[in-house]
Structure 1
Amino acid sequence: MIRHIVLFKMKDRSPGSIEAAANVLRNLQGKIDVLVSLEVGIDVLRSDRSFDISLTAEFASLEDLQAYQVHPLHQEVIKYMNEVREQSVAVDYEI
């Protein structure tokens, strides 16, 4: 299994903007067959050093993660997030 984690810091850090972006990410659930699980969370501390949104996804294999990366729906979400995020960081590891 592969775990994929992405943290997003938004350009507009208002609660409504953050919730809208989180909902775009949540919309991936059940729509990409290689996506075993998806969890999207919103930061509760809201400190200056905090990221605003966390996405955690799991895949059965590295090949499934790679298929997810190029899936058209994921590409649409990337395009949206690139417009609304200030910064993102990611990590992928075996579990």
Structure 2
Amino acid sequence: MITHIVLFKLKDGSPESVERTAQVLRDMEGKIEQLQSIEVGIDVIHSERSYHIGLVTRFASMDDLNAYQIHPVHKKVIEHMSSVREASASVDYVS
């Protein structure tokens, strides 16, 4: 299994903006065959080093992760994230 984690810092950190973007991520659930699980969390600490949103997704294989990356639903999410994010960080590992 491959776990793909992405942290997002948004340009607008207001609760409304963060929730709206978290919902865009949640809306991928059930729409991408290769996506085995998805978890979207909103930061509750709000420290200086915090990111606003954490995304944890899991895939059966690297091939499935690669298919997810180019899936039309994910590409629409990337468009949204490109317009709202200030920064992001990711890690992918075998789990």
| Partner residue, 1:51 | 51
Q: Structure 1 residue runs of 4+, over 4 Å off?
A: none
Aligned residues: 95
Please report the TM-score for the alignment, with normalisation by the length of structure 2: 0.99
| Partner residue, 2:6 | 6
| Partner residue, 1:94 | 94
| Partner residue, 1:17 | 17
| Partner residue, 2:74 | 74
Which consecutive residues of structure 1, in runs of 5 or more, have no partner in the other structure? none
Which consecutive residues of structure 2, in runs of 5 or more, have no partner in the other structure? none
Q: CA RMSD in A?
A: 0.4
Shift of 1:49: 1.1
Structure 2 distance, partners of 1:56, 1:8, is: 12
Please report the TM-score for the alignment, with normalisation by the length of structure 1: 0.99
SS at match of 1:45: coil
Q: Which amino acid aligns with 1:19?
A: E
